[in-house]
Amino acid sequence: MKGTLRVMTAGLLSVTGLCTALLFACAGGNAVQTFGRQPAAEATKPPEGALSGMVIAIDAGHGGYDGGAVGRVSGVPEKGLNLDVAQKLREILENQGARIVMTRTDDYALCDENPTIRKKLQDMQRRAAIITDGGAQMVLSIHMNEYAGRSQSGPQVFYREGCPAGRLLAGAVQEAMNEQLAPQRERAALGGDYYILTLGVPSVLVECGFLSNAKEEAKLLDEGYRERVAQAVAAGVLAWQALGQEKPEPLPAVDRSGEPHDET
Ligand SMILES: [Zn+2]
């Protein structure tokens, strides 16, 4: 999730090794790929299922100029892997009756080529607008992790710090991933201050695994494993949904209209 927008950085970096530096920032000298495409808010009529009536936003992290974390062995950026997991997850959840809102459906960033604000901030604001305008009741943001040390591994799910509903969802997704993917290291869901988690609905940021770990990188590059990842995330959503009335209220959205341009 290199470059994923964070509201603040205290604490988690040393624990999780996430989001190393490029907060709100552009990806340095990376070649510009595709800009200015209109974000796609897609919706189809879903079949009946456990998630009928639910609108779920799936956010494939990064895209276009912003590749995100890079596989240490392969050099493959996370953006394409994120999109693949997101699309697989979309199909699974649609088959359970959910209506899905995708923040992106191809390899592009959601910012203009020369925006008046930082590209990453504009990209995130547009993702937020798609999610909000689409009426999403839940956000699932898909990323791949990296860390300076090569030994770190395992899926890691984040929720908005202090949000009981998000924490419950994150716990369900984390548990399902631990059970179904049987990682060498089982992690517990963590609170984190990420922009995408602050839109006022139960939201999780899913780090599917570490591209900085050669063994896990090899798994994540395998399509069959990515299908299992998507299945596990969906299983967590279904487990959360099955909790029914026990679900607490989410926190209200955060007003970011006064976001400083140079926040890092
Ligand atoms: Zn990422």
Comparing CA positions, the residue from 190, 185, 187, 202 lying closest to residue 141 is: 202
User: Is residue 154 pLDDT above 50, yes or no?
Assistant: yes
Please write the tens of the pLDDT for every residue from 54-79: 999 999 999 999 999 999 999 999 99
When mean pLDDT is compared across 17-21, 45-49, 151-155, 206-210, the lowest value belongs to 17-21
Q: Tell me what the mean pLDDT of segment 144-167 comes to.
A: 96
Residue 31: helix, strand or coil by DSSP? coil
pTM of the model: 0.83
To the nearest 5 percent, what fractions of the chain are helix, strand and coil?
35, 15, 50
Q: Tell me what the mean pLDDT of segment 117-135 comes to.
A: 96
Across the chain, mean pLDDT equals: 85
* Residue 137 Cα to ligand 1 middle (Å): 22
pLDDT at 246: 77
User: Is residue 26 pLDDT above 70, yes or no?
Assistant: no
* Higher per-residue pLDDT: 200 or 1: 200
* Residue 68 Cα to ligand 1 middle (Å): 5
Residue 24 is assigned to a structural domain of this protein: no
Residue 169 is assigned to a structural domain of this protein: yes
pLDDT at 40: 53
* Residue 162 Cα to ligand 1 middle (Å): 22
Residue 16 is assigned to a structural domain of this protein: no
* Residue 143 Cα to ligand 1 middle (Å): 4
* Residue 224 Cα to ligand 1 middle (Å): 21
66, 109 in Cβ contact below 8 A?
A: yes
Residue 18 is assigned to a structural domain of this protein: no
Residue 3 is assigned to a structural domain of this protein: no
* Residue 54 Cα to ligand 1 middle (Å): 26
| Strands lying side by side in the sheet with 55-60 | 99-102, 55-60, 138-145, 203-210, 156-160, 190-192
Total number of domains in the chain: 1
Domain at 111, CATH number: 3.40.630.40
Q: Tell me what the mean pLDDT of segment 41-59 comes to.
A: 81
Beta strands at 190-192 and 156-160: parallel, antiparallel or unpaired: parallel
Residue 201 is assigned to a structural domain of this protein: yes
Residue 216 is assigned to a structural domain of this protein: yes
* Residue 19 Cα to ligand 1 middle (Å): 7
DSSP-assigned letter for residue 99: E
User: Is residue 29 pLDDT above 50, yes or no?
Assistant: no
Comparing CA positions, the residue from 258, 256, 239, 255 lying closest to residue 247 is: 239
- Residue whose structure tokens are 């026990």: 246
Please write the tens of the pLDDT for every residue from 243-258: 986 788 888 998 776 5
pLDDT at 43: 54
Range of the domain at 102: 36-244
* Residue 15 Cα to ligand 1 middle (Å): 16
* Residue 245 Cα to ligand 1 middle (Å): 32
Q: Tell me what the mean pLDDT of segment 120-138 comes to.
A: 97
Residue 200 is assigned to a structural domain of this protein: yes
* Residue 114 Cα to ligand 1 middle (Å): 22
User: Is residue 185 pLDDT above 50, yes or no?
Assistant: yes
* Residue 104 Cα to ligand 1 middle (Å): 14
Please write the tens of the pLDDT for every residue from 77-120: 999 999 999 999 999 999 999 999 999 999 999 999 999 999 99
